[in-house]
Chains A and B, each alone.
Chain A
Amino acid sequence: MKDSLYIAWRYVAYHRVKTAILITAITFMLFLPLALRTLVAACERQLMARAASTPLIVGAKGSSLDLAIDTLYFEPKPVDPITMAELQRVERSGMARAVPIFTRFQARGRVIAGTTLDYFEFRNLVIDNGRQITRLGDCVLGATAAERLDLGPGDHLLSSPEDLFNLAGTFPLKMHVAGVLARSHTPDDHAVFVDIKTAWIIAGLGHGHQDLQTVDDPDVLLRRDGRDYTANAKLLHYNEITEENIDSFHFHGDVSEFPITAVLVIPRDKKSEDLLRGRYQSIGEPCQILRPAHVIRDLTATVFKVEGMLNSAFVLTGGAATMLIGLVVMLSLRLRHREVQTMFKLGCSRWKTAELLISELLIIATASLLLTGLAVTLTTMYVDQILRRVIL
């Protein structure tokens, strides 16, 4: 067998291009389904870890999956807003802590998550560089967001307008980057966090402008009726909150009517959780309360069904590839007929001829298996990083 392996090795080494193509084809054929399985399992694990760390979410009725994905992973989904009244309702119950989440806006492709400092405490997020949000207009960036946007403390970030062609829509707010969060290897790394009030200013519910009592230009003031002033469009509105103009920022309307996307609910105990869930079961209730772990489990179950279909496709493709490889081997044998004849004429034993060919296949199969093993090992070792970079 040693001699056969040696001759086979000389053959595959001499025909290195053909050998490399065969090994690559077999490696991919074996690696792809295994890698898919590894990635799906890790993806499920990461998705579930995030979901399991979030007890309850309250949001508008509709797709529970959209609500969970938007709130947990900051992937923009068409989720109807609810009002701050829902948050107050949870807080009034005394059974849970409530953290608002408002994810309507984006900045350079990153979701702006309007929330409160409670969110950072809840998620154990700490500042790595700079400082925490302390005033209107401040934002802190997730580690990946800061890296990709190439921003750090002291820089500015402009919120993206919702619709470029809507002249009456919201104006971009120039936010001040106060700090960068330490990497948490969660979707928080990709988001831009602002105080919920800053998010409402981006939404146009609060604004800052020239003081109408001290405005110099007489054309700006259209009418004055006691303490009520009516100004025209010439009035200067600020698109950046600074030390100088921060006092001019104010909100119009009742805060309890202001929009949020969801409320993260952290019940005191299991009983409180059950009671809270019961309160959202009634007919006519405009909101839903969901347990993210259940929603994501349903999602992963669906993913596994898709994976099963993909595996079937891989089996078929693998079968076709095996047949093609068989054809290549057969054609190769036909091309090598003269070589086999020469060995026969020299006195090569019949078994030895078969052994030589088997040895070549063995070398190719072994190399493919080793490469597949290496690739699967590397995928398993770096699966979390791959998922963070590619998917999450």
Chain B
Amino acid sequence: MIHISNLRFNYPNGGFRLAIPELAIDDGERVAVIGPSGSGKTTFLNLISGIAVPSCGSVRVGGMELSAMGDAARRDFRIANIGFIFQDFELLEYLKVRDNMLHPYRINRTLRLDPDVRARAARLAEDMGLADLLDRYPNQLSQGEKQRVAICRALLPRPEILLADEPTGNLDPLSKGRIINLLSEHARRCNATWVNVTHDHGCLDAFDRVIDFAQFGSRAVA
């Protein structure tokens, strides 16, 4: 599903470099990515989602060579194939929960918003315990509720790849467990590949494999 070889990346302003000689993640595999801050975990997610482009090397995702695609194609690929869950939720404050969930369908024509999607959104909200919160704004929600809305947004298009950047970083232990279980269940049910960046070593049991960016040999030089 995801195959990286001879990847090198550095930000234009310098100071940080990432090098991954070889890395492969299989279809439906659930992978936890750990490592010290600044080791390039978030950059790694950005590279496999096409948000960032490597300086050299290859990033193949679902058989597509991302580094060879143009910006518009990468955006289309991302919205159709990748569900991204951000650490800070990144919900839009002026949209109600329902509209935040449906937002990807309104910002790119690759996804089509139809009654079936709306019905699926309602069911997903029900499953996530958000059915009563659909008409609330994000600032009327708790941290755990916000994270569940962000997960719903990521899961609604049924992505083949789920990328989560410390999705439990801001949550209490009870909510952390619930979120991990939700994502794990979805990944299992949809046979989705799940790459989860985390600092929380307590949840590593939920994953098939753990990639330690420090041990793996990625180099991050500040």
Tell me if A229 is interfacial: C-beta within 8 Å of chain B.
no
- Cβ distance A232 to chain B, nearest Cβ, rounded Å: 89
Q: Are A349 and B107 in contact (CB under 8 A)?
A: yes
Contact among B86, B107, B113 with A348 in the assembled complex (CB-CB below 8 Å): B107
User: Are A347 and B78 in touch, CB under 8 angstroms?
Assistant: yes
Determine if B94 and A346 form an interchain contact, defined as CB atoms under 8 angstroms apart. no
| Cβ proximity bits B92-110 to A, threshold 8 Å, 1 near / 0 not | 1111100100011111111
Bound CA span A349–B71, Å: 9
Chain B residues with CB under 8 A of A10: 94-96, 99
Q: Which of B75, B82, B93, B153 lies at the interface centre, i.e. has the most chain A CB atoms within 10 A of its CB?
A: B75
Q: Is the CB of B94 within 8 A of A343?
A: no
Q: Does the CB pair A352–B93 fall under 8 Å?
A: no
- Bound complex: CA A7 to CA B105 (Å): 11
Candidates B86, B93, B110; contact of A14 at CB < 8 Å: B93
> Which has the most chain B C-beta neighbours within 10 Å: A11, A346, A349?
A346
- Residues of chain A lying within 8 A (CB to CB) of residue B82: 347
Q: Tell which of A7, A346, A350, A353 touches B78, judged by Cβ atoms closer than 8 Å.
A: A346
Instruction: Please indicate the chain A residues that have their CB under 8 angstroms from the CB of B76 in the complex.
Output: 347, 349
Contact with B along A8-31 (1 / 0, CB 8 A): 001101110000000000000000
A330-357, CB under 8 A of B: which get 1 and which 0? 0000000011001111111110110010
A6 at the interface (CB under 8 A from B): yes
Query: Which listed residue, A15, A345, A348, touches B108 by the CB 8 Å rule?
Result: A348
Which single residue of chain A is at the shortest CB-CB distance from B95? A10
Contact of B92 with A346 in the complex, beta carbons under 8 Å: no
Asked if A3 lies at the interface with its beta carbon under 8 angstroms from chain B, I say yes
A342 (CB) vs chain B CBs: closest residue? B90
- How far apart are the CA atoms of A357 and B51 in the complex, in Å? 22
Give the residue of B80, B92, B109 whose beta carbon is less than 8 angstroms from that of A342.
Answer: B92
In the complex, the answer to whether B95 meets A7 with C-beta atoms within 8 Å is: yes
Assembled-state Cα–Cα distance A13/B107 (Å): 19
When A10-B94, A14-B93, A14-B94 are in contact, do A346 and B107 touch as well, CB less than 8 Å? yes
With A348-B107, A349-B107, A349-B109 in contact, is A15–B75 under 8 Å at CB? Answer: no
Q: Would you call A345 and B106 a contact (CB within 8 A)?
A: no
Residue of A nearest to B154 (CB): A346
**Chain B's nearest CB lies how many Å from the CB of A63?**
63
Q: How large, as a class, is the contact surface on chain A?
A: 20 to 34
13 more A-B contacts (CB under 8 A) besides A7-B99, A345-B49, A346-B104? Answer: A7-B103, A14-B137, A15-B94, A339-B92, A342-B90, A347-B75, A347-B82, A347-B108, A348-B75, A349-B72, A349-B75, A349-B109, A350-B71
**Count the B residues whose beta carbon is within 8 Å of the partner chain — how many?**
31
List, in ascending order, chain B residues with CB within 8 A of A13's CB. Answer: 94
User: Which B residues lie within 8 Å of A338 (CB)?
Assistant: 90
Determine which of B49, B51, B107 lies in contact with A352 in the assembled complex, contact meaning CB atoms within 8 Å.
B107
**A7 CA to B51 CA, complexed, in Å:** 23
| Cβ B107 vs Cβ A343 within 8 A | yes
User: Is A350 in contact with B72, judged by CB distance below 8 angstroms?
Assistant: yes
Question: In whole angstroms, how far apart are the Cα atoms of A284 and B14 in the complex?
Answer: 96
Contact partner of A347 among B93, B94, B95, B104, CB < 8 A? Answer: B104
A10 to B93, CA, bound (A): 10
A11 CA / B96 CA spacing, docked (Å): 11
Q: Is B79 an interface residue (CB 8 A)?
A: yes
6 contacts between A and B (CB under 8 A): A3-B113, A10-B94, A345-B49, A346-B104, A346-B153, A347-B76
Do A344 and B99 form a contact, CB below 8 Å, given A11-B94, A349-B76, A349-B109?
A: no
Check B86–A352 contact: CB distance below 8 A.
no
Which chain B residues border A4 with CB–CB below 8 Å? 106
A58 to B208, CA, bound (A): 109
**Measured between alpha carbons, how far is A282 from B108 in the docked complex, in Å?**
87
Return chain A residues, CB-CB under 8 Å to B78.
Answer: 345-347
CB distance from A65 to the nearest CB of B (A): 59
The docked-state distance in angstroms from the alpha carbon of A3 to that of B113 is 10
Q: Which residue of B lies closest to A3 (CB)?
A: B106
In the complex, which of the residues A338, A347, A350, A352 has the most CB atoms of chain B within 10 Å of its own CB atom?
A347
- Please name the residue on chain A nearest to B90 by beta carbon: A342
Q: With the chains together, A150 CA to B92 CA distance in Å?
A: 61
| Residue B84 is within 8 A (CB to CB) of chain A in the complex | yes
| Distance of B180 from chain A, by nearest CB (Å) | 22
The complex places the Cα of A10 from the Cα of B95 at a distance, in Å, of 6
Q: By the criterion CB–CB under 8 Å, are A345 and B86 in contact? A: yes
> CB distance A346 to B103 under 8 Å?
yes
How distant is A110 from chain B, measured CB to nearest CB, in Å?
57
Top 8 A-B pairs, shortest CB-CB distance = A347-B79, A14-B94, A3-B106, A348-B107, A347-B78, A342-B90, A347-B75, A11-B94
A6, A348, A356 pick with most chain B CB within 10 angstroms: A348
| Cβ contact within 8 Å between B79 and A342 | no
Q: Which residues of A contact B109 (CB under 8 A)?
A: 349
Q: Which residue of B lies closest to A347 (CB)?
A: B79
User: Shortest distance in angstroms between A340's beta carbon and chain B's nearest beta carbon?
Assistant: 11
Distance in angstroms between the alpha carbons of A199 and B146 in the assembled complex: 84
Alpha-carbon separation in the docked complex, A353 to B106 (Å): 11
Closest to B82 in A: A347
Tell me the minimal C-beta distance from B151 to chain A in angstroms: 14
A345-B84 contact given A10-B95, A11-B94, A15-B94, CB 8 Å threshold: yes
Q: Which residues of A contact B86 (CB under 8 A)?
A: 342, 345
A353 to B79, CA, bound (A): 14
For the complex, what is the distance from the CA of A356 to the CA of B90, rounded to whole Å? 18
The residue of chain A having its C-beta at the shortest distance from the C-beta of B77 within the complex is A347
What residue in chain A is nearest B103 (Cβ atoms)? A346
